[in-house]
Amino acid sequence: MLILGIETSCDETGIALYHSERGLLAHALHTQIAMHQDYGGVVPELASRDHIRRVLPLIRQVMREAGAELAHVDAVAYTQGPGLAGALLVGTSVANALAFTLGIPAIGIHHLEGHLLSPLLAAKPPQFPFVALLVSGGHTQLMRVGAVGEYELLGETVDDAAGEAFDKTAQLLGLGYPGGPALAQLAGQGRANRYRLPRPMLEQMHQTGNLDFSFSGLKTAVMLLVRKEAPDAAARADVAESFQEAIVDVLVAKSLYALEQTGLTQLVVAGGVGANRRLRERLDRAAAEQGYFVFYPEFEFCTDNGAMIALAGALRLGAGVVGAAPPPRPVPNRKPIGPKAGLPQSYAFTVKPRWDLSAMSL
């Protein structure tokens, strides 16, 4: 099967072509970072308009690089949510229009499902089952993944996610957008032992068995520290390093405890924060010491991309698990269109700006 993937959930337009036997054939990504920098964050209306400009040229580029034609595509997978409603509508409408024209399935993919499956694109992928640490944007979750469509929530953030805490702390330190990478770079110049910052919901973890996260208090502690001391450049680097170590301590401890609770030995780390080199270093060392195995997506697939959406679509089709909704109904009185016409598919669509990943479990 040949699957076209379309990702437009936020500020990156990602397109990819994935073959169920040959793997990833081609992918392309356009990031809007430069456009949003002047505003200090993503402007939803600007993001949506830029997706409109980029999505069709990127599809043509990917098809050309893969040496394929649209007539060869067996299904179109697209990010249906969560994300910015306007941005999601661009990819969703294009995907369903293409699928309708070609007479092939259109598969709505949960954005976080794409992330947690993205390490399967690596040369040495994990095997089901595994524990997944999802640290993407406004989401920080631990999941037990039994198979495609089998997801059990073990813990999640009760307030700010790790990525949000990185971005907000970066603003407090006067860093630019996007804040997470800038803070991590500054942290590399600092000392972690100068400031003692809290590790929220960690001290009682083994007594309560609670795998939830909370990073709002950590962000507030940094805010109070910055207001009190007005740190110079060197002290800001120390604050950044202390903050990063606090985040990493929590993520590492909770991930290892999730492995202990589930009895599994494989940990998948996915999402933008999964690209943090300090987090990878600490997880690799701890896993080696305790006999666990950690898997990451390639750095280019940590942030939003079309490859993970195409992969998720291929895996869902291959497993016969197309989605959480009832099977699509045939379109009445519809004439066949395209070489693969006649498949029972309704091309009415909606987007899901908020969408619980557990709803995808069947």
Neighbours of 358 (CB within 10 A): 14
In the structure, what pLDDT confidence band is assigned to residue 129 with cuts at 50, 70 and 90? very high
In the structure, what pLDDT confidence band is assigned to residue 159 with cuts at 50, 70 and 90? very high
Question: Is pLDDT of 343 > 60?
Answer: no
Distance CA 285, CA 301 (A): 23
Taking only the tens place, the pLDDT of each residue in 3-46 is: 999 999 999 999 999 999 999 999 999 999 999 988 888 999 99
Whole-number pLDDT of residue 188: 93
Do 101 and 177 have their domain in common?
Answer: no
Do 163 and 286 have their domain in common?
Answer: yes
Structural domains in the chain (count): 2
Do 265 and 307 have their domain in common?
Answer: no
Do 149 and 73 have their domain in common?
Answer: no
In the structure, what pLDDT confidence band is assigned to residue 324 with cuts at 50, 70 and 90? very low
Do 310 and 205 have their domain in common?
Answer: no
Model pTM score = 0.90
Phi, psi of 255 (to 5 degrees): -65, -45
Do 262 and 310 have their domain in common?
Answer: no
Distance CA 321, CA 333 (A): 27
CA 200 to the chain's CA centroid: 23
Mean pLDDT, the chain, rounded, equals: 91
Taking only the tens place, the pLDDT of each residue in 244-298 is: 999 999 999 999 999 999 999 999 999 999 999 999 999 999 999 999 999 999 9
Do 13 and 55 have their domain in common?
Answer: yes
Do 148 and 264 have their domain in common?
Answer: yes
Residue 338 placed within a domain:
yes
CATH code assigned at 161: 3.30.420.40
Do 333 and 269 have their domain in common?
Answer: no
Do 172 and 276 have their domain in common?
Answer: yes
Question: Is pLDDT of 339 > 50?
Answer: no
Whole-number pLDDT of residue 345: 64
Residue 120 placed within a domain:
no
Distance CA 150, CA 144 (A): 8
First CA to last CA distance, the chain? 23
Whole-number pLDDT of residue 137: 80
Strands 106-110 and 75-81: parallel
Angle at 303 between CA 360 and CA 359, to 5 degrees: 10
The more confidently predicted of residues 340 and 187 is 187
Mean pLDDT of 332-337: 42
Mean pLDDT of 49-76: 97
Question: Is pLDDT of 325 > 80?
Answer: no
Do 283 and 316 have their domain in common?
Answer: no
Q: Which of 296, 323, 343 lies at the terminal end of a domain, its last residue? A: 296
Distance CA 145, CA 116 (A): 9
Mean pLDDT of 154-178: 92
Whole-number pLDDT of residue 320: 79
Angle at 278 between CA 274 and CA 280, to 5 degrees: 50
Residue 122 placed within a domain:
no
Do 62 and 34 have their domain in common?
Answer: yes
For residues 32 and 22, the answer to whether their CB atoms sit within 8 Å is: no
Q: Which of 257, 280, 296 lies at the terminal end of a domain, its last residue? A: 296
Domain containing residue 230:
127-296
Residue 88 CA: distances (Å) to CA of 43, 78, 109, 155, 315: 14, 9, 11, 26, 21
Residue 312 placed within a domain:
yes
Whole-number pLDDT of residue 13: 98
Question: Is pLDDT of 338 > 50?
Answer: no
Distance CA 248, CA 268 (A): 15
For residues 248 and 254, the answer to whether their CB atoms sit within 8 Å is: no
Question: pLDDT > 90: what percent of the chain?
Answer: 82
